[in-house]
Amino acid sequence: MNPAHLHLLVNHIPVIGSMLALIALVISLFWKSEDFQKAALVMALVAGLSAIPAYFSGESAEEMVEDKPGVEEQLIEEHEEAAKIAGIVAVLSGVVAASGLLLHEKRQIISLVATVLFVATAGLMARAGNTGGHIMHPEIREGSSQSPTERSSREKEGEHEEGERAE
């Protein structure tokens, strides 16, 4: 397994985890079950802390793909910045969730704060995931109406035409 593969495996955990944690936290605010509230806070803690390996595996993944054809440095930088912000907010949100597990008497208010933080976390993680997808998937970039196959065919046609002109 190479660093890019590792990053692809772990980066989905905080993205999906933050969304699932948010759903569980919202439900826990209305469903007055202490056990469910604890479970939601544990999910939030895991989702928040999972941003750490996702972020740190990105640097090695960048080194593997930065010189590949079609990979633009600007897209990598946008993803790196989005991931850094999302990671900081996710870890902060996870720490708040952990405090809710430890401080029983303040669990209700801490759960509310964690829910608000996870709204931000889920949105920021979605943005980080989207910008990461742009790096290797030109078909999802804004302004792209061609599939990779269409783009590849056009590029080959252009190379063929250039070869004919050179003769």
Mean pLDDT of the chain: 86
Give the range of the structural domain holding residue 106, as residue numbers without chain letter. Answer: 3-136
Residue 29, in any domain of the structure: yes
Q: Residue 16 — pLDDT band, cuts 50, 70, 90?
A: very high
Residue 167, in any domain of the structure: no
Residue 98, in any domain of the structure: yes
Residues 102-106 have a mean pLDDT of: 94
> What pLDDT is attached to residue 90?
97
> What pLDDT is attached to residue 71?
80
> What pLDDT is attached to residue 58?
87
Residue 151, in any domain of the structure: no
How many folded domains does the chain comprise?
A: 1
Residue 159, in any domain of the structure: no
> What pLDDT is attached to residue 29?
92
Q: Residue 157 — pLDDT band, cuts 50, 70, 90?
A: low
- Is 80 exceeded by the pLDDT of residue 166? no
Residue 154, in any domain of the structure: no
What pTM, to 2 d.p., does this model score? 0.79
Residue 21, in any domain of the structure: yes
- Is 60 exceeded by the pLDDT of residue 120? yes
**DSSP string for residues in the chain:** --HHHHHHHHTHHHHHHHHHHHHHHHHHHHS--HHHHHHHHHHHHHHHHTHHHHHHHHHHHHHHHTTSTT--HHHHHHHHHHHHHHHHHHHHHHHHHHHHHH-GGGHHHHHHHHHHHHHHHHHHHHHHHHHHHHHH-GGGSTT--S-HHHHHHHHHHHHHHHHHHH-
> What pLDDT is attached to residue 68?
83
> What pLDDT is attached to residue 72?
85
Residue 54, in any domain of the structure: yes
